[in-house]
Amino acid sequence: MKMNLLGNGAIAMGAIAAGVKFAAGYPGTPSTEILETLKSSEYSKNIHIEWSANEKAAVEAGAGAAYSGMRTLVTMKQVGLNVASDPVMCLAYIGIKGGMVIAVADDPGPISSQTEQDTRSFGAYAHLTVLDPSSPEEAYKMTKYAFELSEKIGRPVILRPTTKVCHASATVDVSDEIHDYTPEGFVKDPKWVIFPPLSYKRHIENFKMYNSIASEKCKYNNVETVPDTDKGIVTGGVTTAIVTDVLESLGVKVNRLTIGRPYPFPVSETEIFAETAKDILVLEELEPFIEENLQRLIKTPLKGKYSEHVPAAGELKYENIESIICGFLGLQTPETPSAKLNVTLPTRAPVLCAGCPHRASFYAVKLASKGKKAVYCGDIGCYTLGNAKPLETTDTCLCMGGGITVAQGIKTSNPDTDVFAFTGDSTFFASGMTGVANAVYNKHNITICILDNRTTAMTGGQPHPGTGVTITGEETVHIDIAKVLTALDVGFVKECNPFDLENAVKTVTEAALYNGVSAIVFKAPCIAVSKKPCTYEVSDCIGCKRCINELGCPAISLSSGKAVIDPVMCYGCGICETVCKPGKIHKIGGVRS
Amino acid sequence: MNILICGVGGQGTILASKILAESAVIDGSDVARTGETIGMSQRGGSVVSHVRTEKTSSPYIPKGQADLIIAFEKCEAARCLPFLKPSGKAVVSMSEIKPVAVSLGVMAYDSKAMEDYIKSAAESIFLDTDTLAAPFMDGKCTNTLLLGAAFGMGFINISENAIKKAMEKLIKPRFLDVNIKAFEAGIKAVSG
Ligand code: SF4
Ligand code: SF4
C-alpha cells in the first residue's frame, strides 16, 4: 500500500512490519513522531508502547524485552543517547536475543538541539552497527533490515536518521506482511550477567565480528563507477539524495560511493570505488566520519572537512553542495535567477506562546528578586525561551536536568547571590530528581522552581510520570512532584499558581529567604493541554508600553504607539491585565477559573 | 510542482503541505515529498514546508525553483521569495504578526516595503485572511482557505476532487466540513 509518511512514520511502519513487540523512548526532536506513529497505528494493540521516564530507562527496559526474544525498538534524539550511554555501551557486550533497534535521530544545524554530535561516531565507539537512511523510503526498508541483522548477529543495531529524513515525507510502499513469531521468554544463562572475564571475551568477539562484517557487502552501501572520469564523490544520509539532485541538474556523472552502513565501515565497496576514483570529495554532515574511515583505507588525500572543502559544522543545503561540487569539478556554479532580498526583514526567533504559564512564573521570580543579586539557571524545554528579552530569566542552560545542579556550583562560588533553578515537570522526572538529592545531601542553599505545565511541551505535548496517563491514553498513577520533593527532604516546598501574581511573588520571596534547599511547584497547564477561557482587549491605551516591556507576550503588539491584543492569538491568561498599571486591559467573554 | 508554504509556527502550515502531497498522489503522482519544520521554531518562529509533487531525490526545493509560495504571513512571504522562480506565483495572507522584538522596538516591521517587494518579484495575490477565515473556527482554517485561494487562482495543477479527498483522509471528521467550507471560501475569494 502506498502511504505518504514522514521519515519517522516510515521507521514506525518498518518496525511494525518487522514484528516489533516492545517500543520505548523519551520524546526529543527530531525523533518524537516514531513512537507517536506507532501508537496511532491499528497494530498498536499488539505492541507494548511507552514513553519512558528517560532514555536510559527506555534502553534498559528494552534490553529486558529483547533478552526475552521480543523484537524491540527504542527511540531518542542524539543527546538522549548520552543519557542512555551506560546501558548502550554494556549492551554492546552482552547482546540480545530478539532483534533490537535503537533509533537515534541526529540534528545537523543544530536546529532543535544542544549539540551537533554524531551518532555514527558513537556507534563505532560502542561497537554497534549503524545504519544511516537517506530518505523516508529507505528508512522504511532499513528498519526492517535492522531488526533482521540485529537478531542475526545478536547485538543491537543503531538506526541513525537525521532531521531532514525524520521530518521529510515521501510516498512509501508499505507491505501488509508482518513478521510473525512467538518470543521464547527469558531463559536463565550466565551470559546475561556482565562480569570482567565475560567482557574481555566479548570485546575480542565483537572486534572480530565487526571486522568481518566490514568486508561483507551490504545492500545499503552502493558503488557506481563511471569509467571515463577519475572524480569520485562519497556521501551518506540525506546528503546522498541532495547530491543526486545536484548532479542531475548539472547533467554530469561521476563515480559515487554511498554509505548507508557507516559502521562497520565497508571495505569491499571502498576498494571497488577506489579502483576508478582517484580524486575524491567526501560530502557529509556532522563529523568527518566517512572521511576518516575512508582515509584509513585509501592513500589518496581526500577533499572534505579537513581540507576545508566542506564546512565543519551546520547543515549541507542544496546551494552549498552545488557550489562545492562545481568547485570540485571545475565548473561554473549556475546562476539561478531569483529575487534578491531588498528589504530588511525582522528576524523571527521562537518565543513562549501567548498565555504560556512559564511567562508568569519567570515574571514572578524576576519581581521577587528585583534589586537583589540573582542568577537564573535554566534547563531544556520550552522554558529555555525565558532567556529572551524582555524576561531574561535564563542565565545558564547546559543539558537535561543540569539546571538544578549547575545552580549548586554557582551558589557555592557566589554565596551572596540568590540562585534559582528552573526545571520542567517532564525534565524533573527524566533527570532532575538526582540533582535535588545532591542539593539536599550536600546542603546547597538554592531555590528550585518546577514549572509544572502537565505535559512535555517542547516536543509537542507528550504525557510523563506526572500526568496520570500513558502514551496510549490509559490512566495510570500521577506522581505528585511536591510529594517527591518532600520525600527527598527538601525543607521548603510550596505549590502555587503563577497567574496569581501577588501570591506567586510572595511565595518566591519566602523560598529565597529560606536557608537550605527550597522548592516551588508552579502549577498551570500549557496552552496546548488547556482550553482558552477568554480573551483580553486594550481600550484607551495611554502608550506606556509597560505590558510589552515587562512580558513580551507575542499577542500584544504596538499600533500607532498603542498596545493592541490579537484576539486570535491571546490565550486569556490575564497576566497583562495585572501588569497594566493604568488598568486599560480588560477581559472579554468567558470566565477564568 | 514545487510549492513552498511558509508562516509562523503554530499557524497550521504542516496540514496544508500534507494535503498537497496527499492530493498529488491521489491524482497519480508517483512520489510526493515534503520537508517540514518541526521543533523549536514551532513556538512562534519562522516555519517553512517544502512540497514537491514530481520525482526528485530530495524534498528540499533549491533557491529560485519554487513554482508557488503560499504564505500565511506577509513578512514570511518576503523572507521566502528567493526560493521563487522568476515567473513564480505567490498567494499571500495580509496578516501581520509582529515578532516580539518589533514590539520592543529593537527591530522594524516595514509592511509597505515588504508588500512592494513581493509585488515586484511575483505574480501575487494578497488576501485579508483575518477577515475571510474568521467565520471558520475563529481563523483556525486559514490553511485550507489559502489552499482554496491558490487553487482558485489556477496556481495548483491538482484536481479539486483530489484535494477534497486528501482533506477527508487527513482531517478529523468533526472538523472536515468547516475546512471544506473554508477551502471553498478561498476559491470564492479570488473568483471574479
Ligand atoms: S507549548 Fe506550552 S509550555 Fe511551550 S511555550 Fe507554548 S504554552 Fe509554553
Ligand atoms: S491575556 Fe495578555 S498576556 Fe495573556 S495571552 Fe492574552 S495578551 Fe498575552
Quick one: A123 and A75 in the same domain? yes
Quick one: A59 and A124 in the same domain? yes
Judging by DSSP bridges, how do beta strands B46-52 and B2-8 pair with one another?
antiparallel
Quick one: A190 and A229 in the same domain? no
Q: Is B28 in CB contact (< 8 Å) with chain A?
A: no
Residue with the smallest CA separation from ligand 2 atom 4 is A573
Give pLDDT tens digits for A165-223: 999 999 999 999 999 999 999 999 999 999 999 999 999 999 999 999 999 999 999 99
Contact at CB, B36 and A168, closer than 8 angstroms: yes
Give pLDDT tens digits for A396-455: 999 999 999 999 999 999 999 999 999 999 999 999 999 999 999 999 999 999 999 999
Ligand 1 pocket, residue A527 CB under 6 Å? yes
State which residues form the domain around B86: 2-187
pLDDT band per the 50, 70, 90 thresholds, residue B138: confident
- Check pLDDT > 50 for residue A105: yes
pLDDT score recorded for residue A201? 96
Contact at CB, A347 and B21, closer than 8 angstroms: no
Quick one: A364 and A409 in the same domain? yes
B108: in domain: yes
A312: in domain: yes
Q: Which of A164, A343, A554 sits opposite B110 (nearest CB)?
A: A343
- Check pLDDT > 60 for residue B142: yes
Quick one: A517 and A542 in the same domain? no
CATH code (residue A300): 3.40.50.920
- Check pLDDT > 70 for residue A593: no
B185 in Cβ contact with B148 (< 8 Å): yes
pLDDT score recorded for residue A85? 98
Q: Is B46 in CB contact (< 8 Å) with chain A?
A: yes
pLDDT score recorded for residue A568? 87
Quick one: A99 and A240 in the same domain? no
A342: in domain: no
Q: Which of the listed residues A329, A346, A371 is the one where a domain comes to its end? A: A329
Give pLDDT tens digits for A56-78: 999 999 999 999 999 999 999 99
Q: State the sign of the Cα–Cα–Cα–Cα dihedral A32, A242, B90, B94.
A: positive
Ligand 2 atom having least distance to the Cα of A355 = 5
Contact at CB, B60 and A164, closer than 8 angstroms: yes
Ligand 1 atom having least distance to the Cα of A424 = 3
Cell numbers linked to B130: 483575518
Q: Which of the listed residues A215, A234, A255 is the one where a domain comes to its end? A: A215
How much of chain A exceeds pLDDT 70, in percent?
Answer: 99
Whether pTM > 0.90 for this model: the answer is yes
Residue in chain A nearest B19 by alpha carbon? A4
Cell numbers linked to A26: 523519551
* A3 sits in which H/E element: strand A2-6
The torsion defined by the Cα of A257, A263, A264 and A268, in degrees rounded to 10, comes to: 0
A111: in domain: yes
Quick one: A313 and A165 in the same domain? no
Residue with the smallest CA separation from ligand 1 atom 8 is A356
Contact at CB, B57 and A390, closer than 8 angstroms: no
Cell numbers linked to A176: 501488509
CATH code (residue A19): 3.40.50.970
pLDDT score recorded for residue A563? 96
Quick one: A140 and A227 in the same domain? no
- Check pLDDT > 60 for residue B177: yes
- Check pLDDT > 70 for residue A591: no
A346: in domain: no
B26 in Cβ contact with B165 (< 8 Å): yes
pLDDT band per the 50, 70, 90 thresholds, residue B192: confident
Mean pLDDT of B73-95: 95
Contact at CB, B41 and A549, closer than 8 angstroms: no
Three-class secondary structure of residue A584 per DSSP: coil
pLDDT score recorded for residue A592? 42
pLDDT score recorded for residue B139? 85
A344: in domain: no
- Check pLDDT > 90 for residue A350: yes
A573 CA → ligand 1 middle, Å: 12
Give pLDDT tens digits for A330-346: 999 998 887 777 889 99
Q: How many domains does chain A have?
A: 4
Q: Which of A168, A318, A558 sits opposite B103 (nearest CB)?
A: A558
Q: Is B85 in CB contact (< 8 Å) with chain A?
A: yes
B65: in domain: yes
CATH code (residue A566): 3.30.70.20
A352 CA → ligand 1 middle, Å: 6
A500 CA → ligand 1 middle, Å: 18
Three-class secondary structure of residue A130 per DSSP: strand
Nearest C-alpha of chain A: how many angstroms from B191? 27
Quick one: A154 and A27 in the same domain? yes
Q: How many domains does chain B have?
A: 1
- Check pLDDT > 80 for residue B73: yes
Q: Is B44 in CB contact (< 8 Å) with chain A?
A: yes
Give pLDDT tens digits for A423-438: 999 999 999 999 999 9
Q: What are phi and psi of A332, to 5 degrees?
A: -75, 130
Quick one: A324 and A442 in the same domain? no
A351: in domain: no
Cell numbers linked to A224: 557506481
Q: Which of the listed residues A329, A347, A367 is the one where a domain comes to its end? A: A329
B192: in domain: no
CATH code (residue B156): 3.40.920.10
- Check pLDDT > 60 for residue A353: yes
Ligand 2 pocket, residue A499 CB under 6 Å? no
CA A121, CA A119: separation in Å to the nearest integer? 5
Helix, strand, coil distribution of chain B in percent, nearest 5: 45, 20, 35
Ligand 1 pocket, residue A360 CB under 6 Å? no
CA B134, CA A165: separation in Å to the nearest integer? 36
How much of chain A exceeds pLDDT 90, in percent?
Answer: 97
Q: What are phi and psi of A324, to 5 degrees?
A: -65, -45
Quick one: A479 and A546 in the same domain? no
State which residues form the domain around A502: 357-529
A61: in domain: yes
A195: in domain: yes
Quick one: A195 and A238 in the same domain? no
Average model confidence (pLDDT) across chain A: 96
Three-class secondary structure of residue A38 per DSSP: helix
pLDDT band per the 50, 70, 90 thresholds, residue A590: low
